[in-house]
Amino acid sequence: MMRVVLLGPPGAGKGTQGELLARRLGVGRYVSGDLLREAVREGSAAGRQAQGWIERGELVPDAIVTGIVTGALSRDAGPGFVLDGFPRTIAQAEALAEFLGSRRARIDAVVYLEVPESEVVKRLVSRRVCPSCGAAYNLHTNPPRKDEVCDRCGARLASRSDDDEGTVRRRLRVYEGETAPLVEWYRAQGVRLLRVNGLGSVAEVRARVRSALGL
Protein backbone atom coordinates (compact mmCIF):
# COMPACT_ATOMS: atom_id res chain seq x y z
CA MET A 1 0.00 0.00 0.00
CA MET A 2 1.36 3.37 -0.94
CA ARG A 3 1.05 6.77 0.73
CA VAL A 4 1.70 9.46 -1.82
CA VAL A 5 1.81 13.26 -1.62
CA LEU A 6 1.18 15.20 -4.82
CA LEU A 7 3.08 18.45 -4.94
CA GLY A 8 3.04 21.18 -7.56
CA PRO A 9 1.65 24.64 -8.24
CA PRO A 10 -2.07 25.27 -8.58
CA GLY A 11 -3.05 24.17 -12.07
CA ALA A 12 -0.30 21.54 -12.36
CA GLY A 13 -2.90 18.78 -12.69
CA LYS A 14 -2.82 17.39 -9.15
CA GLY A 15 -6.59 16.91 -9.05
CA THR A 16 -6.79 15.08 -12.38
CA GLN A 17 -3.69 12.96 -11.83
CA GLY A 18 -4.53 12.36 -8.17
CA GLU A 19 -7.86 10.89 -9.12
CA LEU A 20 -6.29 8.58 -11.73
CA LEU A 21 -3.47 7.57 -9.40
CA ALA A 22 -5.75 6.83 -6.45
CA ARG A 23 -7.93 4.67 -8.67
CA ARG A 24 -4.88 2.83 -10.00
CA LEU A 25 -3.51 2.24 -6.50
CA GLY A 26 -6.94 1.35 -5.11
CA VAL A 27 -6.61 3.91 -2.32
CA GLY A 28 -8.55 6.93 -1.10
CA ARG A 29 -7.79 10.48 -2.12
CA TYR A 30 -7.76 13.45 0.23
CA VAL A 31 -7.96 16.89 -1.36
CA SER A 32 -7.48 19.71 1.12
CA GLY A 33 -9.07 22.35 -1.18
CA ASP A 34 -12.19 20.18 -1.60
CA LEU A 35 -12.38 19.46 2.14
CA LEU A 36 -12.08 23.19 2.87
CA ARG A 37 -14.66 24.22 0.26
CA GLU A 38 -17.02 21.58 1.67
CA ALA A 39 -16.52 23.00 5.18
CA VAL A 40 -17.29 26.49 3.83
CA ARG A 41 -20.48 25.22 2.15
CA GLU A 42 -21.57 23.46 5.32
CA GLY A 43 -20.87 26.61 7.32
CA SER A 44 -18.92 24.70 10.01
CA ALA A 45 -16.71 26.67 12.42
CA ALA A 46 -13.58 25.69 10.46
CA GLY A 47 -15.31 26.60 7.20
CA ARG A 48 -16.29 30.04 8.45
CA GLN A 49 -12.72 30.67 9.55
CA ALA A 50 -11.27 29.42 6.25
CA GLN A 51 -13.49 31.28 3.81
CA GLY A 52 -11.72 34.67 3.70
CA TRP A 53 -8.29 33.15 3.10
CA ILE A 54 -9.57 30.95 0.29
CA GLU A 55 -11.27 33.88 -1.43
CA ARG A 56 -8.12 36.00 -1.21
CA GLY A 57 -5.94 33.18 -2.54
CA GLU A 58 -3.95 32.99 0.69
CA LEU A 59 -3.22 29.95 2.78
CA VAL A 60 -5.71 28.95 5.44
CA PRO A 61 -3.92 28.79 8.82
CA ASP A 62 -2.04 25.54 9.38
CA ALA A 63 -4.01 24.45 12.44
CA ILE A 64 -7.36 24.61 10.63
CA VAL A 65 -6.22 22.72 7.53
CA THR A 66 -4.23 20.17 9.46
CA GLY A 67 -7.24 19.49 11.68
CA ILE A 68 -9.53 18.97 8.69
CA VAL A 69 -7.14 16.72 6.76
CA THR A 70 -5.91 14.56 9.63
CA GLY A 71 -9.52 14.31 10.83
CA ALA A 72 -10.54 12.92 7.44
CA LEU A 73 -7.54 10.57 7.38
CA SER A 74 -8.28 9.19 10.81
CA ARG A 75 -11.95 8.70 10.02
CA ASP A 76 -11.57 6.63 6.92
CA ALA A 77 -8.08 6.29 5.43
CA GLY A 78 -6.90 2.78 4.75
CA PRO A 79 -3.20 1.90 4.78
CA GLY A 80 -2.61 3.82 1.54
CA PHE A 81 -3.79 7.19 0.24
CA VAL A 82 -3.10 10.04 -2.14
CA LEU A 83 -2.88 13.56 -0.70
CA ASP A 84 -3.57 16.49 -3.00
CA GLY A 85 -3.03 20.07 -1.84
CA PHE A 86 -1.76 19.07 1.59
CA PRO A 87 0.80 19.60 3.01
CA ARG A 88 1.41 23.10 1.67
CA THR A 89 3.78 24.43 4.33
CA ILE A 90 6.65 22.91 6.25
CA ALA A 91 4.60 23.17 9.46
CA GLN A 92 1.86 21.11 7.81
CA ALA A 93 4.38 18.53 6.59
CA GLU A 94 5.75 18.23 10.12
CA ALA A 95 2.25 17.84 11.56
CA LEU A 96 1.48 15.17 8.95
CA ALA A 97 4.71 13.27 9.69
CA GLU A 98 3.85 13.35 13.38
CA PHE A 99 0.29 12.15 12.75
CA LEU A 100 1.54 9.28 10.58
CA GLY A 101 4.41 8.50 12.94
CA SER A 102 1.96 7.97 15.79
CA ARG A 103 0.45 5.24 13.55
CA ARG A 104 3.83 3.81 12.61
CA ALA A 105 3.40 5.06 9.07
CA ARG A 106 5.14 7.50 6.76
CA ILE A 107 4.90 9.05 3.30
CA ASP A 108 6.35 6.65 0.73
CA ALA A 109 6.71 9.03 -2.21
CA VAL A 110 6.23 12.63 -3.21
CA VAL A 111 5.22 13.18 -6.83
CA TYR A 112 6.22 16.67 -7.86
CA LEU A 113 4.32 17.82 -10.95
CA GLU A 114 6.37 20.49 -12.70
CA VAL A 115 4.60 22.99 -14.95
CA PRO A 116 5.86 26.49 -15.86
CA GLU A 117 3.99 29.48 -14.44
CA SER A 118 2.81 30.83 -17.80
CA GLU A 119 1.11 27.50 -18.48
CA VAL A 120 -0.64 27.20 -15.10
CA VAL A 121 -2.11 30.71 -15.37
CA LYS A 122 -3.56 29.75 -18.76
CA ARG A 123 -4.92 26.49 -17.38
CA LEU A 124 -6.55 28.03 -14.32
CA VAL A 125 -8.31 30.93 -15.99
CA SER A 126 -9.86 28.52 -18.50
CA ARG A 127 -10.68 25.87 -15.88
CA ARG A 128 -14.30 24.96 -15.27
CA VAL A 129 -15.51 22.72 -12.49
CA CYS A 130 -18.75 20.91 -11.86
CA PRO A 131 -20.24 22.23 -8.62
CA SER A 132 -22.27 19.05 -8.31
CA CYS A 133 -19.84 16.12 -8.91
CA GLY A 134 -16.46 17.90 -8.87
CA ALA A 135 -15.39 16.95 -12.42
CA ALA A 136 -12.81 19.35 -13.86
CA TYR A 137 -12.63 20.69 -17.41
CA ASN A 138 -10.54 23.08 -19.43
CA LEU A 139 -12.19 25.15 -22.12
CA HIS A 140 -9.21 24.68 -24.48
CA THR A 141 -7.67 21.31 -23.74
CA ASN A 142 -10.50 19.29 -22.19
CA PRO A 143 -13.85 20.94 -22.98
CA PRO A 144 -17.17 19.36 -21.99
CA ARG A 145 -19.09 17.75 -24.87
CA LYS A 146 -21.90 20.25 -24.42
CA ASP A 147 -21.04 23.89 -23.72
CA GLU A 148 -20.83 24.64 -19.98
CA VAL A 149 -22.55 21.35 -19.02
CA CYS A 150 -20.94 18.51 -17.04
CA ASP A 151 -20.42 15.32 -19.11
CA ARG A 152 -20.75 13.15 -16.04
CA CYS A 153 -23.81 14.52 -14.29
CA GLY A 154 -25.39 17.19 -16.50
CA ALA A 155 -25.00 20.05 -14.00
CA ARG A 156 -24.08 23.55 -15.20
CA LEU A 157 -20.31 24.17 -14.96
CA ALA A 158 -18.81 27.06 -13.03
CA SER A 159 -15.50 28.84 -12.56
CA ARG A 160 -13.94 28.72 -9.12
CA SER A 161 -14.15 32.18 -7.58
CA ASP A 162 -10.39 32.08 -6.88
CA ASP A 163 -9.49 31.28 -10.50
CA ASP A 164 -9.56 34.90 -11.72
CA GLU A 165 -6.17 36.06 -12.96
CA GLY A 166 -5.33 38.33 -10.01
CA THR A 167 -6.07 35.66 -7.41
CA VAL A 168 -4.28 33.01 -9.48
CA ARG A 169 -1.14 35.17 -9.49
CA ARG A 170 -1.40 35.61 -5.72
CA ARG A 171 -1.81 31.84 -5.27
CA LEU A 172 1.31 31.28 -7.36
CA ARG A 173 3.34 33.71 -5.21
CA VAL A 174 2.11 31.89 -2.11
CA TYR A 175 3.07 28.59 -3.70
CA GLU A 176 6.59 29.80 -4.45
CA GLY A 177 7.08 31.21 -0.97
CA GLU A 178 5.40 28.60 1.21
CA THR A 179 4.99 25.34 -0.68
CA ALA A 180 7.91 25.00 -3.11
CA PRO A 181 10.36 24.70 -0.17
CA LEU A 182 8.67 21.39 0.68
CA VAL A 183 10.52 19.75 -2.21
CA GLU A 184 13.81 20.33 -0.42
CA TRP A 185 12.28 19.47 2.96
CA TYR A 186 11.08 16.06 1.78
CA ARG A 187 14.40 15.39 0.14
CA ALA A 188 16.17 16.16 3.39
CA GLN A 189 13.79 13.76 5.17
CA GLY A 190 14.91 11.01 2.80
CA VAL A 191 11.45 10.62 1.23
CA ARG A 192 11.41 9.37 -2.37
CA LEU A 193 10.95 12.51 -4.48
CA LEU A 194 9.77 11.99 -8.05
CA ARG A 195 9.89 14.93 -10.43
CA VAL A 196 7.37 14.54 -13.21
CA ASN A 197 6.96 16.82 -16.21
CA GLY A 198 3.34 17.99 -16.00
CA LEU A 199 3.13 19.33 -19.56
CA GLY A 200 1.22 17.42 -22.19
CA SER A 201 -2.00 15.48 -22.32
CA VAL A 202 -3.66 13.86 -19.31
CA ALA A 203 -2.69 10.42 -20.67
CA GLU A 204 0.94 11.43 -21.19
CA VAL A 205 1.30 12.80 -17.67
CA ARG A 206 -0.52 9.77 -16.23
CA ALA A 207 2.01 7.48 -17.95
CA ARG A 208 4.92 9.50 -16.54
CA VAL A 209 3.47 9.40 -13.02
CA ARG A 210 2.99 5.64 -13.21
CA SER A 211 6.44 4.97 -14.52
CA ALA A 212 8.04 7.26 -11.91
CA LEU A 213 6.30 5.22 -9.22
CA GLY A 214 7.19 1.94 -10.91
CA LEU A 215 3.53 1.02 -11.50
Task: Supply the residues annotated as catalytic.
Answer: 14, 88, 127, 160, 171
d(CA 174, CA 4): 22
Least spacing, CB of residue 146 vs ligand AMP, in Å: 25
Between CA 206 and CA 36 the distance in angstroms is 26
Window 93 to 122, contacts with ligand AMP (CB under 6 A): none
**Contacting ligand AMP (CB under 6 A), which of 16, 17, 70, 92?**
92
Q: Determine the angle formed by the axes of helices 181-188 and 90-101, rounding to 10 degrees.
A: 40
Q: Is 196 helix (H, G, I), strand (E, B) or coil?
A: strand
- Single out the residue of 8, 13, 18, 33 in contact with ligand AMP (rule: CB under 6 A): 33
Which parts of 163-202 interact with ligand AMP (CB under 6 A)? 171
User: Is 12 one of the binding residues for ligand AMP (CB under 6 A)?
Assistant: no
What Rg do the C-alpha atoms of the chain give, in angstroms? 16
The answer to the question of residue 9 lying near ligand AMP (CB under 6 A) is: no
CA-wise closest residue to 123 among 106, 105, 143: 143
Binding site for ligand AMP (CB under 6 A): 10, 32-33, 36, 53-54, 57-60, 65, 85-86, 88, 92, 162, 171
